[in-house]
Structure 1
Amino acid sequence: MNTEANTPTDNSPEDDTTATPYLRRIRSFVLREGRLTKGQQHALENFWSDYGIDYQNAPLDLNHVFGRQAPRVLEIGFGMGKSLVAMAKAAPEHDFIGIEVHRPGVGACLSEAEANQVTNLKVFEHDAVEVLDHMIPEQSLATVQLFFPDPWHKKRHHKRRIVQPDFVQALRTKLEIGGVFHMATDWQHYAEHMLDVMQAAEGFENLSPSNDYVERPDHRPLTKFEQRGQKLGHGVWDLMFKRIR
């Protein structure tokens, strides 16, 4: 993974061909557990009941989950969770939902959340596509964030990129009218791919004045990876598209 927020990894197996029909699809990530640190294991054992949501095939009542009605921000692939926790702490008037498939990252996020005593954050350890499909109510999100997903830079793997027309339309139904899909990547070719997909997507409007990319908004924390990349002259591209219908 080349950034904190990268959930997927390269080195992919062949397309998923499990016998269950609804799982017969290309996955945008490869699940490799990695070794849990003692701190991550401790967090999973002790803080999941405070921050975790178990996957189930039924829509959530988000007002019940958070104990209030507030704008909701969902982040797909929060990596180790440091930036997600920082955003939740900086915006207590919003509720944050994080989805990550890699257990060490989930453990690290729980530990960070507990250390910062955030009360407006819940996390899933599950496939984001299934969580969106089955658990997130229609028009319930103010923002969906996708920061530094795996670019699948090899041409034969481009079909594994999560930003694809079908995914974008499924995501659109979860955003409220006026809600924003915010993406960021450090791969120019993936940025161009994202832009092409989103420009063609029904029901979205580009928030860029130049109809391409936007400056990094203040609410997206600048990661250590980005700071190193800037010193080396590497670019980062942010895209923000608003649901208009």
Structure 2
Amino acid sequence: MMDQEMVTLSKPPVPEEFRIKSYVLRGGRMSNAQRRAYELLSSRYTIPFTGKVLDFRALFANENPVTVEIGFGMGFATAVIAQKNPEKNYLGIEVFRPGIGRLLWEIEKRGIANIRIIEHDAVEVFTEMVPPASLEGIHLFFPDPWPKKRHHKRRLVKRPFTDLLARRLGPSGYIYMVTDWADYGEWARGELSATPGLVNGYEGFAPPQDWRPRTKFEAKGLQKNHEVRELLFKTEAP
């Protein structure tokens, strides 16, 4: 039962500055395969948003380290990384249902056992469900750049949300962000650099990490001459 996989802790309400959504829900048609996967596999691999803090050991039935991916899109990179690292656990957060269906399809096709999914707003999930100092890593691959200046307030990678992310990381934890919007890369580097408890793993932007799969989305951006920026920030040693 799901209630056995969670523990209840006292938590403050979501802060006012977190309530500006960093996404817009897109309808998007689900393919037959995505719909089938969503209908058949959701109960096995998805977790409802609740007011309870997750017990990762109970959820995954092991004590392996956990990485959260925020906004996994169609889930290809998520599936490949999880399949190559069966000794680690992965929690994906997404609100785009066709993408969730696609990742569930990948899970079934590849026989992946170390992924769980929450279909909800990442800010609320991190605020209410992710325990402090519990994560090995946080992945943000190509979050919405909200390029217009009047929309910058909607960008996900900004303080105080990055402060919250840092508090959810354990010792030797990391945040790995990739964007194909140069301005957002500069913005995010500034926000992460100002976040207490985090240090840049490189002097500037990170080189491409060879363990991250390249996706069709990234290829389309490169065809449009977008400049990919990668950031790898680590938990600061005490």
Shared topology, TM-score over 0.5? Answer: yes
The match for 1:152 among 126, 132, 146 is 146
Task: Find the aligned partners of 2:201 and 2:211 in 1 and give their Cα distance.
Answer: 16
2:21 maps to amino acid = R
Aligned residue in 2 for 1:132: 126
1:195 maps to amino acid = R
Offset of residue 189 of structure 1? 0.4
Matched, 1:239 2:236: no
**Structure 1 unmatched ranges of 5 or more:** 1-20
Deviates more, 1:62-71 or 1:22-31: 22-31
Task: Find the aligned partners of 1:50 and 1:90 in 2 and give their Cα distance.
Answer: 21
Task: Find the aligned partners of 1:23 and 1:101 in 2 and give their Cα distance.
Answer: 21
Matched, 1:198 2:192: yes
Tell me if structure 1 keeps the 8 A contact 2:14–2:127.
no
Give the 5 Å matches for 1:31-70. Answer: 31-70=25-64
1:178 maps to amino acid = S
The match for 1:168 among 162, 165, 168 is 162
What percentage of residue pairs aligned between the two structures are identical? 42
The match for 1:182 among 165, 176, 186 is 176
Compared with structure 1, are the counterparts of its residues 43 and 238 closer, same or farther at alpha carbon in structure 2 (3 Å cutoff)?
same
1:170 maps to amino acid = L
What is the CA RMSD across the aligned residues, in angstroms? Answer: 1.6
Offset of residue 191 of structure 1? 0.3
Tell me if structure 1 keeps the 8 A contact 2:70–2:93.
yes
Tell me if structure 1 keeps the 8 A contact 2:76–2:215.
no
Compared with structure 1, are the counterparts of its residues 22 and 34 closer, same or farther at alpha carbon in structure 2 (3 Å cutoff)?
same
Aligned residue in 1 for 2:102: 108
Helix, strand or coil at the partner of 1:165 = coil
Task: Find the aligned partners of 1:231 and 1:38 in 2 and give their Cα distance.
Answer: 29
Aligned residue in 1 for 2:90: 96
Aligned residue in 2 for 1:8: none
- Using structure 1 for the length normalisation, give the TM-score: 0.87
Offset of residue 203 of structure 1? 1.0
Compared with structure 1, are the counterparts of its residues 232 and 162 closer, same or farther at alpha carbon in structure 2 (3 Å cutoff)?
closer
- Using structure 2 for the length normalisation, give the TM-score: 0.89
Offset of residue 234 of structure 1? 3.4
Helix, strand or coil at the partner of 2:47 = coil
Matched, 1:30 2:24: yes
Matched, 1:219 2:222: no
Show structure 1 runs of 4+ deviating over 4 A.
Answer: 21-24, 228-233
Task: Find the aligned partners of 1:22 and 1:91 in 2 and give their Cα distance.
Answer: 33
Task: Find the aligned partners of 2:72 and 2:219 in 1 and give their Cα distance.
Answer: 18
Tell me if structure 1 keeps the 8 A contact 2:83–2:110.
yes
Offset of residue 231 of structure 1? 5.6
Task: Find the aligned partners of 2:132 and 2:97 in 1 and give their Cα distance.
Answer: 28
Offset of residue 33 of structure 1? 2.4
Offset of residue 49 of structure 1? 2.0
Task: Find the aligned partners of 1:74 and 1:229 in 2 and give their Cα distance.
Answer: 24
Task: Find the aligned partners of 2:107 and 2:152 in 1 and give their Cα distance.
Answer: 34
